[in-house]
């Protein structure tokens, strides 16, 4: 029997001081939602936590996400399980109510890893997922146009059987070009899980995570026997020195407590174990 654990983050960055308490509370609610489903396994817990954060308007995922230069929300999500290395992801979504649900559906379908834009929306509709008018994601246009440093929400879980899972969801970067895809739906860049070693979820400048392949790189370090706390901090140190980029990570190893590290003024996170 392994010791179950869950760690959740709400995005790394220089968010307004006035929002920090609210964002921390949102992350703690997500932690509680995920932990309540841990009995169903690591995947259920990670997805439940992220799905909750897609409904928290202060976080950059789902409702309240940042806007593209066209003034709309384009949402990305990804999920991975460590027992089989199965991955599902979706990107550039405008009308799927819960992007993380679509990522799970893509993974369970098994034919592909990543679907985008209209094709992803059609897949979601054909599989009975909840759709929505794109306007539902915009709650405070002025705030969402200014939203900075609140990238990617995510969760990493380990269940009693030792299985690991990671789930991520994001609105991307403020003012991004339509069609831009960051690291969040790309396995090995923004997230990775392998039951043999550990699982990690990142947040920050997605282009930097992609260039480094940071999530997979961190899991390789765990494979080499590095301490999870050192791996988390090392990933952030590399992000800063090699890419001069802001960001944060949450990580769970095969055993031991979850870890978090970031180089930004804030990254709300919460854990249960």
DSSP H or E stretch at residue 192: strand 191-194
- Token reading at 86: 């199965």
Residue 77 CA neighbour count, 13 Å, CB half: 32
Q: Residue 247 and residue 63: Cα distance in Å, rounded? A: 22
* Integer Cα distance of 212 and 46 in angstroms: 24
What is the rounded CA–CA span in Å between residue 222 and residue 197? 6
Measured CA to CA, the distance from residue 270 to residue 228 in angstroms comes to 17
Contact 11, 152 (CB under 8 A): yes
Calculate the alpha carbon distances from 162 to 42, 45, 257 in Å: 9, 13, 13
Catalytic residues: 152
How open is the CA angle 1-225-258, to the nearest 5 degrees?
55
**Residues 186, 172: Cα–Cα separation, whole Å:** 13
């Amino acid at each position: 029997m392994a010791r179950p654990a869950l760690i959740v983050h709400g995005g790394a960055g220089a968010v307004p001081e006035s929002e920090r308490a609210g964002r921390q509370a949102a992350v703690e609610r997500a932690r509680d939602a995920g932990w309540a489903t841990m009995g169903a396994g690591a995947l259920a817990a990670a997805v439940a936590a992220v799905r909750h954060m897609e409904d928290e308007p202060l976080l950059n995922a789902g409702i309240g996400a940042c806007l593209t230069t066209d003034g709309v929300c384009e949402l990305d999500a990804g999920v991975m399980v460590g027992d089989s290395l199965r991955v599902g992801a979706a990107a550039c979504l405008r009308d799927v109510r819960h992007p993380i649900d679509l990522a799970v559906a893509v993974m369970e379908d098994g034919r592909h890893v990543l679907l985008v834009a209209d094709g992803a929306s059609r897949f979601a509709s054909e599989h009975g997922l909840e759709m929505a008018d794109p306007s539902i994601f915009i709650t405070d246009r002025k705030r969402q146009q200014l939203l900075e440093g609140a990238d990617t929400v995510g969760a990493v879980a380990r269940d009693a059987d030792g299985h690991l899972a990671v789930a991520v969801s994001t609105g991307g970067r403020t003012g991004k070009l339509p069609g831009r895809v960051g690291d969040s739906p790309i396995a090995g860049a923004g997230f990775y899980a392998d039951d043999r070693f550990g699982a990690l979820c990142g947040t920050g400048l997605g282009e930097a995570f992609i260039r480094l392949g940071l999530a997979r790189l961190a899991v390789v370090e765990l494979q080499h026997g590095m301490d999870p706390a050192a791996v988390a901090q090392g990933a952030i140190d590399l992000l800063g020195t090699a890419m001069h980029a802001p960001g944060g990570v949450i990580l769970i190893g095969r055993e031991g407590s979850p870890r978090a590290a970031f180089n930004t003024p804030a990254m709300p996170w919460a854990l249960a174990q």
